[in-house]
Copies of this chain bind each other. A is one copy, B any other.
Amino acid sequence: MSEKRAIVLLSGGLDSATVIAMARAQGAAVHALSFRYGQRHAAELDAAKEIARANQVTEHQIVDIDLRQFGGSALTDDIDVPKGRSAAEMAGEIPITYVPARNTIFLSYALALAEVRGIRDIHIGVNAVDYSGYPDCRPEYIAAFERMANLATKSGVEGDRAIRIHTPLIDLTKAEIIQRGTDLGVDYGATVSCYDPTPNGAACGECDACRLRKKGFADAGLPDPTRYA
């Protein structure tokens, strides 16, 4: 019976699928927001659409943004995605798959949608544990964005510092995320994490995202429903 509404950034990956399920479990009506940002594959967005449907969202906005125009990342350029690295090798460096200012751009669109719809809560599945190399996944970055957002908008001017950026996964390990989602009935078989899937949508199993995901299911002691190549 709640009137609570939330914007959820939905990539189609494991993390955002968990975030949307958590928001629904709290009784929020979800406005999902995804981006077509020059990904080399469409599997992730197909997954986002499926997850949005499964969570009975109020709306699912897919915004076209073209970061390829600027270049600068493996996810949108023709640089090879690194394969076969251990979690230790990934830790403490900024991955080549980092997209410049990506979360800032994504959250800015979320802020625009929030202001237009009169929504105060924005949920994003950033995680500071497994992706410590991404500067825009750190709690201090999120806090600074929230502060800026409240100064950027009418609600801020009107004294109602109401925009909140929620990061329910920020301190969780991948195994803990998978456990929470499983408890909420998330179908992880419908999610896509792989940076470099095959043309028919199977995960490569060897990129950083696949290895973190595999390890997460193993650590959680849960079966991994991912279709690997």
Using a CB–CB cutoff of 8 Å, the interface residues on chain A facing chain B are 61, 63-67, 69-72, 94, 98, 100-105, 108-109, 111-113, 115-117, 135-136, 138, 140-141, 144-145, 147-149, 151-154, 156-157
- The SS class assigned to the A binding surface is helix
Partner of A141, one of B112, B136, B145, B151: B151
Can you identify 7 A-B contacts, CB atoms within 8 angstroms?
A: A61-B69, A100-B115, A100-B116, A104-B111, A104-B112, A108-B108, A136-B153
Other A-B contacts than A100-B153, A135-B154, A141-B152, 12 sampled, CB-CB below 8 A, are A61-B69, A70-B112, A94-B154, A100-B112, A100-B116, A101-B152, A103-B152, A104-B112, A135-B152, A135-B153, A136-B152, A145-B148
Copies in the complex: 2
A65→B66 CA distance, assembly (Å): 9
**Most chain B beta-carbon neighbours within 10 Å: one of A108, A141, A156:** A108
Contacts of A104 in B (CB 8 A): 108, 111-112, 148-149, 152
Minimal Cβ-Cβ distance residue in B for A154:
B94
Q: Which 6 A-B pairs have the closest CB atoms?
A: A101-B112, A72-B116, A144-B148, A100-B115, A141-B151, A135-B157
What chain B residues lie within 8 Å of A103 (beta carbons)?
152
Please tell me if the beta carbons of A138 and B112 are within 8 angstroms of each other in the complex.
no
